[in-house]
Structures are given as C-alpha cells and as structure tokens.
C-alpha cells in the first residue's frame, strides 16, 4: 500500500516553528489554501514539516508551494479529552516557481507509484 500525497497551494499564513517532544525536535507548521478547478470553495490543508531546512524560514504567507509527503492522523490530549488532526507530513516543500525542484519532487512520486519495470 502507498501513502503519498502531492499538493499545490498558497500559504494561508506565515509558517510557525515549534519544538516538540522531549528531544525538542523542530517542526514547521504550514497551512495551505488549495483551490480546485470548478470548485466554489477552497480547501484548507494543514501541513507539518519535521526538521525543515533553514531556507524554509524564507517562506511567507501567499507563497505558492508544492508539498510532497504523506497523510497522517495524530492524537493528542487537550483539557482531558483526546482529539485528533489529519495532516500532510511534508518530505519536500518547494516554491512552485522553482520548476526544476517541483519536477524532481514529482518524479520521485511517480517513481514510487509506478510498478517496477513499467516506468
């Protein structure tokens, strides 16, 4: 089975960096607005990017980006209740204007979903 997602959208707000867990691992939270052709409303897609490179700090609200990763659902406790959130866990985030970077990210996706020997 595969769990691969590629999504293109605009950053709805500036990225938010936070430290999580006992290790203090860095996580960058992004919120994408994605408009599908012909759809009346846009979709909001939450994205988390673990150990994002320092260049990610240059991303800003309104930037058009391509995200490649997988879908995950995480559970957490808030006020004594268990809640969950479904989000995209990014492996690669590339500004859409960088055609070569987008092409390389999408070629990786195609290689993963194409049966061996059928490229």
Q: Where are the domains of the chain?
A: 5-113
pLDDT at site 114: 86
Q: Which residue has the higher pLDDT, 23 or 52?
A: 52
pLDDT at site 117: 54
The two three-digit tokens of residue 3, written as one number: 């769990």
pLDDT at site 13: 95
Render 45-89 in DSSP notation, one character per residue: EEEEEET--GGGGG--TT-EEEEEEEEEEEEEEETTEEEEEEEEE
Give me the percent of the chain exceeding a pLDDT of 70: 96
pTM of the model: 0.85
pLDDT at site 77: 84
How far is 49 from 64, CA to CA, in rounded Å? 16
- What's the CATH fold of domain 5-113? OB fold (Dihydrolipoamide Acetyltransferase, E2P) (2.40.50)
């Amino acid at each position: 089975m595969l769990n691969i997602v590629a999504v293109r959208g605009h950053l709805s707000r500036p990225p938010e960096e936070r430290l999580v867990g006992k290790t203090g691992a860095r996580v960058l939270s992004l919120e994408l607005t994605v408009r599908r052709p012909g759809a009346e409303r846009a979709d909001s897609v939450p994205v988390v990017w673990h150990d994002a490179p320092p260049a990610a700090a240059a991303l800003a609200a309104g930037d058009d980006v391509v995200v490649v990763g997988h879908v995950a659902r995480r559970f957490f406790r808030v006020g004594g209740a268990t809640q969950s959130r479904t989000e995209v866990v990014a492996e690669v985030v590339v500004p859409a204007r960088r055609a070569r970077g987008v092409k390389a990210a999408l070629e990786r996706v195609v290689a993963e979903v194409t049966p061996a020997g059928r490229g």
